[in-house]
A and B are shown apart, each in its own frame.
Chain A
Amino acid sequence: MARIVAGIGSSHVPAIGAALDNGKTEEPYWKRVFSGFVKSQEWMRETKPDVAIVVYNDHASAFSVEMIPTFALGCAAEFPPADEGWGPRPVPVAQGYPALASHIAQSCILDEFDLTICNKMEIDHGMTVPMNLLFGKIAKDGHWPCPVIPLAVNVVMYPPPTGHRCFMLGKAIRKAVESYPEDLKVVIFGTGGLSHQISGPRAGLINSKWDKAFLDNLSKDPQKLVKIPHIDYMREAGAEGIEMVMWLIMRGALDDKVDEVYRFYTVPASNTAVGHIILENRAKKSTGKRKPAVKHKRAAARAKVERIRS
Chain B
Amino acid sequence: MAREQHDYDDIPGTFVFDAERSRQGFGINMFCMSLMKDENRKAFKANEAEYLKKFNLTPEQTDAVLKRDYNRMLELGGNIYFTAKLGATDGHSFQHLAAVMTGASQPDYAAMMLAGGRSVEGNRSRSGKNAPPKYLAAAPAKKAAGGKPKVKAKSTKAKVKSKSAKRK
Contacts and interface: CB of A to CB of B under 8 A. Distances in A.
A159 B123 CA distance: 22
A236 B71 CA distance: 21
- Chain A binding surface, main DSSP class: loop
A271 B80 contact: no
A158 B120 contact: no
B46 to A, nearest CB: 18
Contacts, number: 175
Interface stretch (A95-103, A109-117, A175-183, A197-205): A197-205
A158 B16 contact: yes
Contacts of B155: 216-217, 220-221
A195 B119 CA distance: 11
Contacts of B79: 60, 65, 156-157, 199
A39 interface: no
A59 B81 contact: yes
Interface string A267-296: 110110100000000000000000000000
Contact of B102 (A204, A217, A240): A204
Interface residues of B, number: 61
A177 to B, nearest CB: 28
Interface string A69-107: 000000000000001111000000000000000000000
A234 B10 CA distance: 11
Nearest to B141: A209
A202 B88 contact: no
B124 A271 contact: no
Contacts of A157: 17-19, 22, 79
A245 B135 CA distance: 17
A68 interface: yes
B152 interface: yes
A208 B116 contact: yes
Interface of A: 15, 59-61, 64-66, 68, 83-86, 156-159, 195-210, 212-213, 216-217, 220-221, 224, 228, 230-232, 234-236, 239-240, 267-268, 270-271, 273
Given A83-B36, A239-B15, 8 more contacts: A202-B102, A204-B98, A204-B118, A207-B119, A209-B139, A234-B14, A236-B120, A239-B11
Interface of B: 7-8, 11-19, 22, 25-26, 29-30, 32-33, 35-36, 71, 74, 79-82, 85, 88, 94-95, 98, 101-103, 109, 112-114, 116-120, 123-125, 132-133, 135-136, 139, 141, 143-144, 147-148, 151-152, 155, 158-159
